[in-house]
């Protein structure tokens, strides 16, 4: 039986919920107060059998990020289950610096597969620990936002915050 802890904090972009395992590694997170929506980001086999409300170490990092320390999320441990290519992609997402987004094509190059633009987009779409694995830092060619599980308004606000541009709410 695996257990996990869930915590929701208030952010300028709305309620942000974080699910961590017993080692305080982020399993999933996103801008919703709905625990079921967070759990739904995980494959059924990877979902904990029990979830309790409590404090998470990752919440302090998220609050520091929102307080202006954009690197606060970088050292937060995450745990993601997927294919070798997905895990490689999620690790590559963590290396994208705040304020320096890539296009899906550039991200595919980072993965060593320049023609795998759709695979690069799929890696972003299947990223469960949003913010801590910053898939929001990948854009369409030409700078269009593309998709984001938590809404384009949140993605835009994150990118503007990271670029040093105040987000309009």
Angle between helices 117-125 and 84-93 in degrees, nearest 10: 80
- The residues assigned a catalytic role are 135
Sign of the Cα torsion 33, 162, 81, 141 reads: positive
CA gap 40, 100 in Å, rounded: 30
Q: In the 8-state DSSP scheme, what is residue 23?
A: T
Give me 96's structure tokens: 């994208």
In sequence order, what are the beta bridge partners of 8?
17
| 90 burial type by CB count under 10 A (0-12 exposed, 13-18 middle, 19+ buried) | buried
* Number of alpha carbons in the 13 Å side-chain half-sphere of residue 169: 6
């Amino acid at each position: 039986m695996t257990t996990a802890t869930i915590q929701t904090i208030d952010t300028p972009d709305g309620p942000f919920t974080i699910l961590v395992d017993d080692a305080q590694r982020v399993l999933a997170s996103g801008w919703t107060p709905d625990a079921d929506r967070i759990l739904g980001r995980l494959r059924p086999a990877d979902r904990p059998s029990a979830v309790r409300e409590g404090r998470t170490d990752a919440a302090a990092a998220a609050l520091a990020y929102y307080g202006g320390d954009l690197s606060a999320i970088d050292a937060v441990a995450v745990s993601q289950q997927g294919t070798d290519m997905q895990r490689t992609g999620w690790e590559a997402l963590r290396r994208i610096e705040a304020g320096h987004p890539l296009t899906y094509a550039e991200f595919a190059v980072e993965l060593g597969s320049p023609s795998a633009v759709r695979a690069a987009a799929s890696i972003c779409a299947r990223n469960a620990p949003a913010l801590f694995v910053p898939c929001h830092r990948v854009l369409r060619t030409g700078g269009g936002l593309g998709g984001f599980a938590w809404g384009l308004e949140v993605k835009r606000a994150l990118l503007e915050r990271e670029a040093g541009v105040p987000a309009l709410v």
